[in-house]
Amino acid sequence: MARKIQGVILQAVSLTGQNRVAEEIQRSPATISRWLSQEDEMPRCCEIIAALNLKVVPKSAVCVSQRTFEAYKILAAEHMRAVSREEQLSWDE
């Protein structure tokens, strides 16, 4: 799990850019690069996140408990079984 977390963080930095990340936390781009490239620091932080059973997700993500997700799956499946025609899914009046 720690490797997955590290991958998510590195991908986000890649998409955002080290310069932007550096600006956001008021550090130099060289400092960010050094933090990300150190062989033990980044994996250690990711191991702590994993040990705490936490996830790294985008700010725009909406997270629900596994129990809530399972309930949504059941409700969605029941609704889809009740739909017999594509037109029933349309919201047009």
9 CB-near residues (< 8 Å, 6+ apart): 42, 46, 56
Confidence of residue 93 (pLDDT cuts 50, 70, 90): low
Residue 36 neighbours by CB distance under 10 Å: 16
Whole-angstrom distance, CA of residue 75 vs CA of residue 69: 10
- Identify the CA nearest to 15 among candidates 70, 63, 71, 58: 58
Whole-angstrom distance, CA of residue 46 vs CA of residue 30: 21
Domain architecture of the chain: domains with CATH: 2-89 (1.10.260.40)
Question: pTM for the complete prediction?
Answer: 0.65
Residue 77 neighbours by CB distance under 10 Å: 10
What is the percentage of the chain residues whose pLDDT exceeds 70?
A: 90
